[in-house]
């Protein structure tokens, strides 16, 4: 990871994002959500994620928000069956504004999550959790190793489908997914054996080859998250 | 019964979690796609899929903490793949995992039968419903709708996550892939 | 030391036992293995083992981190780790830096990385379980060079399991054969000679069954025009990355061509000849063109060997015949995934044969085979070819080509 944000400590980034998310989740106020979204977009150059990449990989978030917006605001009316399920409790907000709040809140929750993970390298995350939060190294590295196998599973899926076809059986989706799960578990077992062969479960203390710092710039990431979360809370109370 | 997790327990639980994280990615999009035709709370019928790791993990690994671990890792990795709900899924996963864990803790981590799976699925669903209702739908559902939502999620949990995971574990066991686990079968000597 | 034996004789098991890796819950055991006087389980720290499958030995996503993994487990202080990592990478001739992603490496590079990871720990006993089994000749040679160099630097004992003696002999001082059948094992031979009489086609080839017209393979501009004829064995050779597997998948009717097309003759496909093979229904495809994949495990769908063979609806008599021809009868009730690598490969060939197709496409059928099975495969395939079937053999094995290949297609990168 070569960007400034990419080099910050993973736990710090995660903590900052969690603070912001927790604050955003507590309110439906559109302005609060917009503040978060705006702050994120402004910080986008720092993260190394291009707007193109945001669209390409973040499209489920945008699609969700757009879906809510379209189907409730544009097509909804007070007596639409869709809206009947979104009936209000007497909060006094206009129906449309509530739905806009929903859509924006979804974006304000999804985007920080997306950006955070786009700037976190899984190995760094494992190291950081072990070093700072005392997560058991066996579990962190075990999960990391399994994650490394993930792209291989994509190849495996394709090969299983072809192999089933070559055997003369129709490759139904469920059957192929089941075969993939079996293959994944088998690989996992072999990987576990290889890890043990290299001394993984030896029992003694384990060092980490990569250095994990926690410097003021990492603290600054948490502080920014805290400030953004505070801004959201303030807006929430100021506007009701 | 050993309670310490072996390396193979950790790696396989993680692999199951990663595999389901990929499934979640697809399932999240199904949820979104159904937004137009199937309004809440009925859309929650498909909820059970997200709860499977919390039940399948313990059924395969058979050690304490399996439900919690597998579900949290699945949730976190799915956020990494790009979930629409960002980091809230991690907390969701925590609550769901705890629910699943209770289904097996109740019998002292010694029972792994269909009954345990169903209870675990239901409790995971309960955790999920409580979380969603307090975080997402607090202001927008009427009391009646809240009860409906919770009921649907719990039932989906029992059926898909509970019975479904149990069937899945049995099918996996038959392929012999679980032979290193207590959930596998005795191999025929050849 | 070179450890040889028929496939399934137990070579991998012995190695795993020496590495102290045999789980107590996975079978019965008798006797013991002592290393420097203590049981193998206690000597795990001084033993390093490299397995056959490059992909599932690598733990981390960056090369340097993976080599450091073993050192971290050992509790080596951070200051010492990276110099040792760099030394190990240099010792195996790893062509990239520490940050290279492991997923993007070729098989040979991955195996060298795995060896680096093991020698960084300076083991007293180095175990290698068919490290070159899944590699092309170029990669295999690089791995052997890496092993030779590693042995020079370490003062270690090495036990190498390898089928092909000729290439392994320069690395070892001694050979041990396990199992009851000494004929099943490759022995050093004069270059160019074959362990059995060659089986070339006795007569002229039959009719054209499949034609590749202007077929484009992924990364090059070149196109292939070839005809697959009945009664002929076509050997497809070339380095890794040239597209051999792609060609095998295209001829097997499993993938759609991006350029050009594959045409089946009416003699093969009857009324379906108007459609390309990749559009045929799976059951019909299997009855006409059988495919055997490089990784046998992808093709197993049932849980016993017998069920695998019976899957396509073959008669019990056919199943029994296949079981005995390929030395699988003893294993009829075993789960396919518990078979050794060589046994799995035989089984995958047998399953393709069960549907009695007229065209057979095989991707590396002789990988990791002991001599007896190798001979039996050649005989079996030659018999099929002499009956009028067409064979397409994707292979790195020059002796196999010399024994059975009637025509050669050389793909270049």
Q: How far apart (Å, rounded) are the C-alpha atoms in residues B75 and B73?
A: 5
Q: How many CB pairs under 8 A join A and C?
A: 140
Contact flag C25-B180 (C-beta cutoff 8 Å): yes
pLDDT > 70: what percent of chain B?
91
Rounded to the nearest 10 degrees, the angle between the axes of helix A30-47 and helix A216-238 is 160
Contact flag B17-A109 (C-beta cutoff 8 Å): no
The answer to whether A189 faces chain B, any CB pair under 8 Å, is: yes
Element (H, E) at A216: helix A216-238
Residue where the block lists tokens 């021809």: C325
In this complex, the residue of B77, B139, B168 whose CB is nearest that of residue A91 is B139
CA distance A99 to chain C (A): 43
Chain C partners of A145 at a C-beta cutoff of 8 Å?
A: 59-60
Mean pLDDT of A214-236: 88
Contact flag C303-B188 (C-beta cutoff 8 Å): no
Q: What DSSP state is assigned to residue C62?
A: B
Chain A partners of B175 at a C-beta cutoff of 8 Å?
A: 182
The answer to whether C125 faces chain A, any CB pair under 8 Å, is: no
State yes or no: pLDDT of A15 exceeds 80.
Answer: yes
Contact flag A86-B140 (C-beta cutoff 8 Å): yes
Q: Choose the weakest-confidence range: A10-24, A87-101, C30-44, C57-71.
A: A87-101
Contact flag B180-C338 (C-beta cutoff 8 Å): no
Contact flag C44-A186 (C-beta cutoff 8 Å): no
pLDDT at A240: 67
Burial of C89 (0-12, 13-18, 19+ CB in 10 A): buried
State yes or no: pLDDT of A68 exceeds 80.
Answer: no
H helices present in C40-157, as ranges:
63-73, 78-91, 107-119, 137-153
- Average pLDDT across chain B, whole number: 87
Q: What are the tokens at C53?
A: 């499958």
Q: Please name the residue of chain C whose CA is at the shortest distance from the CA of residue B182.
A: C25
Angle at A40 between CA A37 and CA A46, to 5 degrees: 165
User: Looking at chain C, which subunits does it touch, using at least 3 CB pairs closer than 8 Å as the criterion?
Assistant: A, B
pLDDT, tens digit, for every residue of B72-120? Answer: 999 999 888 877 777 888 889 999 999 999 999 988 888 888 999 999 9
Q: Please name the residue of chain B whose CA is at the shortest distance from the CA of residue A116.
A: B80
pLDDT, tens digit, for every residue of A171-204? Answer: 677 888 888 898 899 999 999 999 988 888 877 7
How far, CA to CA in Å, does B126 sit from each of B38, B67, B157, C388?
21, 15, 8, 65
Q: What DSSP state is assigned to residue A73?
A: I
Q: How far apart (Å, rounded) are the C-alpha atoms in residues B18 and B70?
A: 9
Cα-only R_g, chain C: 23
Q: Please name the residue of chain B whose CA is at the shortest distance from the CA of residue A17.
A: B87
Dihedral angle over CA of C318, C320, C324, C327, nearest 10: 110
Q: Check if the beta carbon of residue A190 is closer than 8 Å to that of residue C56.
A: yes
Q: Choose the weakest-confidence range: A220-229, B128-137, C79-88.
A: B128-137
Q: How far apart (Å, rounded) are the C-alpha atoms in residues A207 and A209?
A: 6
pLDDT band for position A95 (cuts 50, 70, 90): low
Chain B partners of A91 at a C-beta cutoff of 8 Å?
A: 139
The answer to whether B180 faces chain C, any CB pair under 8 Å, is: yes
What are the backbone dihedrals phi and psi of residue C261, each rounded to the nearest 5 degrees, phi first?
A: -155, 165
Numbers of helices and strands, H then E, in chain C? 14, 15
pLDDT, tens digit, for every residue of B158-190? Answer: 999 999 999 999 988 887 788 888 888 655 555
Chain A partners of C76 at a C-beta cutoff of 8 Å?
A: 207
Q: Please name the residue of chain B whose CA is at the shortest distance from the CA of residue C24.
A: B180
How far, CA to CA in Å, does A147 sit from each of A116, B78, C102, C413?
17, 11, 13, 32
Mean pLDDT of C335-363: 85
Mutation target for C interface from A198, A208, A210, A211: give the one with most C CBs within 10 A. A198
State yes or no: pLDDT of C233 exceeds 50.
Answer: yes
Mutation target for B interface from A89, A146, A151, A191: give the one with most B CBs within 10 A. A146
Q: What is the ipTM of this complex?
A: 0.89
pLDDT band for position C189 (cuts 50, 70, 90): confident
pLDDT at C390: 93
The answer to whether A190 faces chain C, any CB pair under 8 Å, is: yes
Contact flag B15-A146 (C-beta cutoff 8 Å): yes
CA distance C143 to chain A (A): 19
The answer to whether C348 faces chain A, any CB pair under 8 Å, is: no
Among candidate residues A231, A233, A212, A226, the one with its CA nearest the CA of residue A17:
A226
The answer to whether B185 faces chain C, any CB pair under 8 Å, is: no
Q: Which residue has the higher pLDDT, B102 or B44?
A: B102
Q: How far apart (Å, rounded) are the C-alpha atoms in residues C156 and C154?
A: 5
Among candidate residues A58, C288, C130, the one with its CA nearest the CA of residue B86:
A58
């Amino acid at each position: 990871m070569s960007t400034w944000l990419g080099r910050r400590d993973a736990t710090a980034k995660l903590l900052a994002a969690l603070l912001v998310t927790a604050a955003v989740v507590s309110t439906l106020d559109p302005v609060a959500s917009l503040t978060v979204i705006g702050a994120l977009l402004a910080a986008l150059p720092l993260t190394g994620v291009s707007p193109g990449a945001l669209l390409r990989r973040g499209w489920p978030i945008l699609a969700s928000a757009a879906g809510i917006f379209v189907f409730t605001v544009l097509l909804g009316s007070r007596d639409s069956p869709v809206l009947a399920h979104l009936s209000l409790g007497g909060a006094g907000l206009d129906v449309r504004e509530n739905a806009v709040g929903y859509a924006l809140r979804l974006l304000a929750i999804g985007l920080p999550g997306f950006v955070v993970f786009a700037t976190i390298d899984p190995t760094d995350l494992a190291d950081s959790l072990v070093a700072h939060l005392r997560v058991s190294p066996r579990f962190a590295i075990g999960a990391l190793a399994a994650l490394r196998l993930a792209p291989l599973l994509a190849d495996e899926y394709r090969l299983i489908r072809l192999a089933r076809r070559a055997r003369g059986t129709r490759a139904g989706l469920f059957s192929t997914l089941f075969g993939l799960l079996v293959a994944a578990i088998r690989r996992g077992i072999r990987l576990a054996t290889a890890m043990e062969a290299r001394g993984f479960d030896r029992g003694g203390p384990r060092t980490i080859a990569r250095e994990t710092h926690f410097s003021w710039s990492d603290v600054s990431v948490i502080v920014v998250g805290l400030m953004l979360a505070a801004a959201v809370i303030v807006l929430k109370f100021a506007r009701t | 019964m050993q309670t310490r997790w072996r390396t193979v327990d950790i790696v396989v639980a993680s692999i199951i979690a990663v595999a389901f994280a990929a499934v979640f990615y697809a399932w999240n999009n199904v949820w979104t796609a159904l937004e137009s035709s199937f309004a809440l709370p009925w859309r929650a019928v498909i909820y059970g899929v997200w709860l499977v790791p919390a039940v399948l993990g313990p059924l395969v690994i058979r050690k304490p903490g399996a439900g919690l671990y597998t579900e949290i890792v699945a949730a976190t990795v799915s956020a990494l793949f790009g979930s629409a709900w960002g980091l809230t899924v991690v907390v969701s996963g925590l609550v769901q995992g705890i629910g699943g864990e209770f289904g097996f803790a109740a019998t002292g981590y010694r029972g792994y039968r269909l009954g345990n799976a169903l209870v675990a699925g239901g409790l995971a669903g309960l955790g999920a419903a409580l979380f969603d209702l307090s975080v997402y739908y607090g202001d927008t559902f009427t009391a009646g709708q809240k009860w409906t939502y919770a009921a649907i999620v719990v039932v989906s949990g029992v059926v898909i996550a509970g019975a479904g995971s149990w069937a899945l574990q049995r099918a996996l066991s038959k392929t012999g892939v679980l032979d290193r686990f207590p959930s596998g079968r005795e191999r025929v000597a050849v | 030391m070179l450890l040889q034996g028929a496939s399934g004789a137990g070579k991998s098991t012995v190695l795993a036992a020496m590495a102290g890796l045999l789980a107590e819950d996975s079978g019965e055991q008798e006797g013991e293995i002592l290393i420097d006087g203590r049981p193998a389980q206690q000597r795990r720290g001084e033993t390093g083992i490299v397995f056959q499958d490059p992909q599932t030995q690598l733990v981390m996503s960056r090369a340097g981190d993976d080599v450091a993994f073993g050192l971290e487990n050992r509790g080596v202080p951070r200051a010492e780790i990276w110099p040792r990592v760099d030394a190990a990478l240099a010792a195996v001739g790893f062509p990239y830096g520490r940050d290279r992603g492991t997923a993007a490496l070729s098989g040979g590079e991955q195996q060298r990385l795995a060896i680096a990871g093991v020698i960084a720990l300076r083991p007293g006993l180095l175990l290698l379980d068919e490290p070159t089994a899944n590699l092309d000749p170029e990669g295999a040679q690089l791995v052997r060079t890496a092993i030779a160099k590693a042995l020079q630097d370490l003062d270690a004992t090495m036990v190498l399991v390898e089928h092909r003696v000729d290439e392994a002999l320069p690395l070892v001082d001694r050979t041990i054969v396990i199992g009851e059948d000494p004929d099943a094992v490759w022995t050093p031979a004069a270059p160019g000679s074959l362990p059995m009489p060659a089986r070339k086609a006795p007569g002229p080839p039959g009719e054209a069954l499949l034609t590749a017209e202007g077929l484009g393979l992924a990364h090059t501009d070149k196109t292939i025009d070839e005809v697959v004829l009945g009664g002929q064995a076509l050997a497809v050779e070339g380095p890794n990355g040239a597209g051999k597997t792609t060609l095998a998948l295209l001829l097997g009717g499993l993938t759609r061509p991006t350029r050009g097309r594959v045409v089946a003759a009416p003699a093969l496909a009857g009324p379906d000849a108007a459609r390309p093979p990749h559009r045929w229904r799976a059951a019909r495809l299997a009855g006409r063109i059988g495919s055997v994949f490089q990784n046998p495990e992808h093709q197993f769908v049932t849980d016993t060997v017998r069920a695998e063979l019976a899957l396509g609806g073959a008669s019990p008599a056919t199943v029994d015949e296949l079981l005995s021809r390929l030395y699988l009868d003893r294993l009829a009730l075993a789960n396919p995934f518990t078979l050794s690598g060589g046994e799995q490969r035989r089984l995958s060939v047998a399953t393709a044969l069960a549907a009695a197709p007229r065209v057979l496409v095989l991707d590396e059928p002789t990988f990791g085979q002991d001599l007896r099975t190798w001979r039996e495969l050649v005989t079996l395939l030659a018999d099929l070819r002499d009956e009028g079937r067409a064979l397409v053999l994707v292979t790195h094995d020059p002796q196999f080509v010399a024994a059975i290949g009637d025509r050669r297609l050389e793909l270049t990168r």
